[in-house]
Amino acid sequence: MNNQEKRILRLDAMLRDHEHLVANVVCSRLGVDERTIRRDLMQLRKLGAPLRYERSRRMWYYEPGRPLPHLQKLPGFLATTTDRFALLLSLAAIEEFRGTSIHARLQGMYQRMLEALPPENATRYSKVIKKIRFAGPPVPPIKPDIWTMLINALEEPETLRMEYITGRTGKCKQREIDPYLVIVRHRDWFIVAHDHESGEVRTFLLRRIVSLEGTEKPFKVARGFSADAYLATSFDGDQSTGPIHHVKLRFLPEAAQYGREFVSNATQAITEQPDGSVIVEFDTGALYAVQREVLGWGGLVQVIAPAELQQLVTVATSRRLRSRED
C-alpha cells in the first residue's frame, strides 16, 4: 500500500467518525500540502464516497444516510493474504482490551473498517475472526475512571495519588506515584511507576487500584530510567529496583527441550552442553520472579548463578519440604 492509499484510509476513517475536514488543517496532521489533500479527497470521491463540500466554511464531510465506500477498491488495500491475516488478527485481539474503557471504542473502529469492505468480504472475515482466539485467563476488569486518569497522566506527566491493595497483606494503602510505563503480562495490566514513599521504581497491578486521582503536580522521569532498558532486563515483565544480576540456569538433559524453548528477555543466550543439558543465561533484577519459575520446574533446573538466587531457591525448597512433612 502506497502513501496515498494510506492517507485515503485515514481520511475515510476521520470522515466516518463524523469529522468535518478542512484541507489546510488536515494537511498538517498528515504531513502533506493542501493540494495533495484535495487530490486524495477527489480520489476518495471516485471510489464512491458520498463526499460533500461546504464552500462557505471550506469543509468536507460525508453526506448522512448515504452508503459509504468499499475501500477494498484501493489497489493495495488488503491485497495480500498476509495483509488480510494481519487485519483479522488485530480484530480478534480486541478481546485483549476487554475490561478497559477503550474496548468499546476499538470495537467501533474495527466495525467501521469492516463496513468499508464489500458485504460479501465483511461477512467472510467476520466468520474467520471467530476462529482466531487469544487464550488465557479472563481479563481482569479495570475501572474506567482509573484507566482514563492513568492515560491522561502518561500524556501529560502528573503525579497521581492512589489507594492500592497490597499483595502480601491485602490491606488498602494510600501512596503517590509518578507513572512511567504501562505493560501487559498474562492479560493483566501493570503500571511501572516511581513510588514516592520508597523512592524506588515499582510495579503495580491496575486491578488492585481502588482509586486514582490527580495531584496537579507535574513530574520528570528519574534520571537513568529507560523503558527500553527496563524491559530488556525484566523477567516476564517483572523487574525490581535492586541491582541487575547475571542469571545462569542449567536445564537437565530430560528438560533440555524446555531450556531451548525458554524465553526470558532480550539479553538471553542459550548454550548446548555435551551431556545433553542446556545452559540459559540472561540479565535481570527480578530474581523473585526467576525463583518462582525455577521452583515450578520441580528440580529439573539448577541455579548456577547468582548466589542470591541459589539462596532464594534453597530456602523456598526447604520450606516446601517442611510443609509436606508437617
* Closest C-alpha to 247, from 300, 276, 311, 290: 290
Which of 13-22, 104-113, 315-324 is least confident?
104-113
Confidence of residue 313 (pLDDT cuts 50, 70, 90): very high
Mean pLDDT of 60-73: 72
Confidence of residue 173 (pLDDT cuts 50, 70, 90): very high
pLDDT digits (tens, 9 = 90+) for 107-124: 877 777 676 666 667 777
The answer to whether residue 325 scores a pLDDT higher than 90 is no
Query: What phi, psi does 30 have (nearest 5°)?
Result: -100, -5
Which residues, other chains included, contact 87 with Cβ-Cβ below 8 Å and sequence gap of 6+?
Answer: 78, 113, 125
pTM of the model: 0.66
pLDDT digits (tens, 9 = 90+) for 197-221: 999 888 899 989 999 999 999 999 9
The answer to whether residue 76 scores a pLDDT higher than 70 is no
* Closest C-alpha to 14, from 48, 47, 46, 49: 49
Domains of the chain: 3-73 (1.10.10.10), 81-129 (no CATH), 144-225 (2.30.30), 245-325 (3.30.70)
Cell of 114: 469492516
DSSP state of 183: E
pLDDT digits (tens, 9 = 90+) for 255-300: 999 999 998 888 999 999 999 999 999 999 889 889 999 999 989 9
Which residues, other chains included, contact 50 with Cβ-Cβ below 8 Å and sequence gap of 6+?
Answer: 62, 63, 66, 67, 68
